[in-house]
Amino acid sequence: MNKLENDGEVAVKEESQTDEAAPVVRKTRRNRRSEGTIQGILDVTEEIILESGAERISILDVCKAAEISRGTFYRYFASQEELLDAFSRHKRERFYASLIETTAPHTDPDARLEAMIQFISDYIGHTRARRLLIVAPEYAMNWFQRIFQDAVLRFQDVLGIVFDSWDKRLGVKLDRELVCELIIRYVLSEQLVPASPEERRNMPRRIERMVSALVTGKTARR
């Protein structure tokens, strides 16, 4: 009887383990499909916004471009507003992920700063934010305002070892928030007043000069 009970207990346990394991696999597969679908929706959303603006975007246009049904769309987004919010978060997180991927491998403070400067230069040269300002100015300005303070904090984290080095080198504690705020305002100003081709080629050097002036107070041209 004990053996039968034990066998039954084992059988129940094995069945229970099987039942628990199966949903995990199905959930993983479903999540992968969902991520791919969401990414596709966000990709076409960007193209539609850059083509005709955020105000004119329609769920029907997004579904057609993404080749999905309206039912599939509503599985992930409840409304046009929710889609635009998700798109904003998506662009913000992609920017930060690229920034960290570019700078994190550099543990030397000077190398970290140089990597950050090159990242900003490349971003300014290739971003489509200026196009967004043209076709959807209100949406673009709202987006810049929403990400601004978060960007200041993120840049402080990325440049932490750089600031530590500067503090030690200069013998003072720098206002990290202010320095990062001015760096970001510089990036935003480039979207409003684009640099000339020659200035863009010298962008890394110009950013380096700006950072040096903020930190040391030296503004002489080199």
Which sign does the torsion angle of CA 116, 120, 123, 129 carry? positive
Read out DSSP for 89-124? HHHHHHHHHHHHHHHTT--SHHHHHHHHHHHHHHHH
Q: What is the pLDDT of residue 218?
A: 56
Q: Which pLDDT band, with edges at 50, 70 and 90, does 26 fall under?
A: very low
Q: How many residues does the chain have?
A: 222
At 91, list the tokens: 């662009």
Task: For residue 161, give Cα distances in angstroms to 76, 113, 134.
Answer: 40, 9, 37
pLDDT at residue 221 is higher than 60 = no
CB environment 93-118: b (16+ within 10 A), e (fewer):
eebbeebeebbeebeebeebbbbbbb
pLDDT at residue 24 is higher than 60 = no
Q: What is the pLDDT of residue 219?
A: 45
C-alpha–C-alpha distance, residues 112 and 80, integer Å: 40
Q: What is the pLDDT of residue 53?
A: 83
Average pLDDT, the chain: 80
Nearest to 217 by CA among 143, 165, 177, 166: 166
> Which range is most confident: 13-17, 95-99, 129-133?
95-99
* pTM: predicted TM-score of the whole model, two decimal places: 0.70
Task: For residue 34, give Cα distances in angstroms to 40, 62, 79, 122.
Answer: 10, 16, 17, 31
Nearest to 83 by CA among 44, 50, 33: 44
Which sign does the torsion angle of CA 52, 53, 59, 62 carry? positive
DSSP classification of residue 195: P
What Rg do the C-alpha atoms of the chain give, in angstroms? Answer: 25
The domains of the chain, with CATH numbers, are: 1-77 (1.10.10.60), 85-222 (1.10.357)
pLDDT digits (tens, 9 = 90+) for 34-92: 889 999 999 999 999 888 888 878 999 999 999 999 999 999 999 999 999 999 899 89
Q: What is the pLDDT of residue 217?
A: 66
C-alpha–C-alpha distance, residues 209 and 222, integer Å: 8
How many C-beta atoms lie closer than 10 Å to residue 44's C-beta? 19
At 34, list the tokens: 């969902």
pLDDT digits (tens, 9 = 90+) for 136-191: 888 888 888 888 999 999 999 999 999 999 889 888 888 899 989 988 988 888 87
